[in-house]
Amino acid sequence: MNRCRPVVELRQYTLHAGRRDELITLFEREFIESQAAVGARVIGQFRDLDDPDRFVWLRGFADMAARREALEAFYGGPVWQAHRGEANLTMLDSDNVLLLRPAAPDGGFDLPAPPPGASSAVFTAAIHYLDEASVPGFAAFFEARLRPLIEADGAPILASFVTETSANSFPRLPVRTTDRVFVWFSRFEREAAEADFRARHGRRSGWRDGAAEALLPAFARKPEWLRLSPTPRSALR
């Protein structure tokens, strides 16, 4: 297995209207291998199915020190310097970034070689905002209570993450520091399968029964759902 990586960024970019495919073409031509060469692995990149002007991608690092070194090398290096103007012209906002770590030692992505050809898969990311709830407590509740229900409803869990609370090792790129989250990802072969899961899961009741009082703040806000379509060169497909 290729579990990737102990530090992961979930990056959601809001783009100027109609310019998403322009950024994807540039990104996949210039920014995958050039980041990998300095230690920043692009795990996956996606079109948001619910927002035509949002580009979502994941980037992984060996640890926080490696993150700093990789980002210094990439953003100070020749590829970004040559293409940053073109990339930045497509973007309205690139600061919606969650810095994450696997929720369990084996909680990261398993990245086999992607199959050839176009992908019709849909990925779901569910972002639970924990507020003052215990992060370890919610992670334990997820494994014991939520994961079995989610998988019974038809969504195999690919990976799960919690907020990385270390100081931002590359402050030139902002990350969201006020939100504590639990994030899980799933993959469906077709968009219809994802819709079926959401319908079944939405009918669930009683899943919070027995939750400790300390976890109640995590249920005050509905999860944020992302429905993601992988781009042609995404490692997650």
Cα separation, 81 vs 76, in Å, equals 7
Within-domain flag for 26: yes
pLDDT at residue 48, rounded to an integer:
98
Nearest Cα neighbor of 231 from 120, 144, 141 is: 120
Provide the residue range defining the domain that includes 202: 3-110+120-230
Within-domain flag for 59: yes
Within-domain flag for 33: yes
Within-domain flag for 22: yes
Residue 57: helix, strand or coil by DSSP? Answer: strand
Measuring CA to CA, how many Å separate 135 from each of 140, 216, 217?
A: 9, 12, 11
Within-domain flag for 169: yes
Within-domain flag for 56: yes
What is the count of structural domains for the chain? 1
pLDDT at residue 118, rounded to an integer:
65
Within-domain flag for 236: no
Structure tokens that stand for 163 in this block = 């907020």
Beta bridge partners of 159: 185
Cα separation, 157 vs 88, in Å, equals 34
Supply the CATH number for residue 194's domain. Answer: 3.30.70.100
pLDDT at residue 2, rounded to an integer:
47
pLDDT per residue, tens digit, the chain (237 aa), is: 345 569 999 999 999 999 999 999 999 999 999 999 999 999 999 999 999 999 999 999 999 999 999 999 999 999 999 999 999 999 999 999 999 999 998 889 987 666 666 678 999 999 999 988 889 999 999 999 999 999 999 999 999 999 999 999 999 999 999 999 999 999 999 999 999 999 999 999 988 888 999 999 999 999 999 999 999 999 998
Beta bridge partners of 56: 12, 46
